Amino acid sequence: MKQQKFFKEIASDLKKVEKELDRFLKVNDPILSQTCIYLLQAGGKRMRPGFALLSAKFFNYQFEKILPVAMALELIHMATLVHDDVVDASLTRRGRPTLAAGWGNTVSISTGNYLFAKALELIVKIDNTEISSILAKVCIEMCQGEIQQIKFSFDVEQNYKQYFYRIQRKTALLIGLCCKLGAMVSNANKRQIWTMYRYGHCLGIAFQIVDDILDISANPKVLGKPVGGDIRQGIITLPIIYSLKDSPGSERLKELIGKESKSEKEIEEAIELVKQSGGIEKSRRIVDLYIDKAVRCLFELPDILSREALVELAQFVGKRSY
């Protein structure tokens, strides 16, 4: 993503967030130092702090107040990615070896725990019990979403309600929180805070569905990791649910998805069955609905550069290929 296109208005402040993260994660332990530097150098979109900063711009924007919030949100996101890569046994992310591939699972989990602990350190400094409470609740729900995903792996009887429960906790709550906290820290009123949260939540749902579509349909070189990861792990995503319900090849797909051990040939067959079923096209229509909901929220807010950036960002999320 050409980050500067969407974050142009906050580019200098986003660089300060990056610099502060680098300073804040410095540690004397050589292994932790290496892993934290490696994660920061991997880059990433920095969308979570970007959402917080852009949301704050609508109201009483004070960078020093939003800085620790933006940093804590990014650290929580980084920690979840590290833990996800261990759970998923992922070898690559963004075209680079994962932490687990380079340092092993034990060091990866410890690094993820360290990032969570550093996020807590920042949250304490924010000295706002409401923000601390909201962040804690969202982290709890994110963990519940991950447990739900593990619990129902390879279960081909999953339904739409279970899927949306999971992705709300896996992705949408944190993106919604970024927008909400940006507004809260900047003294927005209750309606404005709700509007920003609703935008982020709808966008988060769309973001995760697109992720699930790309895991089946993307070019692996563009995506930065192999496709078919969800099928390997038995994670039942929206395109798969549609395919299991509506596809002429649903019985064979059930057999493939439900197997805990699959050959690469079987994974390719399952991907082809999902593509042929129309599950991807149906899922894209749901993405469009959530993008539309997110954008409509923004028109309650002032017509400023931040609104234009958030509209464009929503449209990008709906059409992204990586």
**Confidence class of residue 244 from pLDDT cuts 50, 70 and 90?**
very high
The helix (run of H) or strand (run of E) holding residue 307 is helix 305-319
Q: Report the pLDDT averaged over residues 197-202.
A: 98
Residue 126 pLDDT greater than 90, yes or no: no
Structure tokens at 92: 């690559």
Q: Which domain CATH number covers 187?
A: 1.10.600.10
Q: Report the pLDDT averaged over residues 235-244.
A: 96
| Contact between 193 and 181 (Cβ < 8 Å) | no
Query: Into how many domains does the chain fold?
Result: 1
Domain enclosing residue 170, as ranges: 3-319
Instruction: Report d(CA 320, CA 209) in Å as an integer.
Output: 11
The helix (run of H) or strand (run of E) holding residue 93 is strand 92-93
User: What DSSP string runs through 25-86?
Assistant: T--SSHHHHHHHHHHHHT----HHHHHHHHHHTTS---HHHHHHHHHHHHHHHHHHHHHHHH
Q: Identity (one letter) of the amino acid at 145?
A: G
Give the tens place of pLDDT for each residue, 292-320: 999 999 999 999 999 999 999 999 999 88
**Confidence class of residue 3 from pLDDT cuts 50, 70 and 90?**
low
pTM exceeding the 0.85 threshold for the entire prediction:
yes
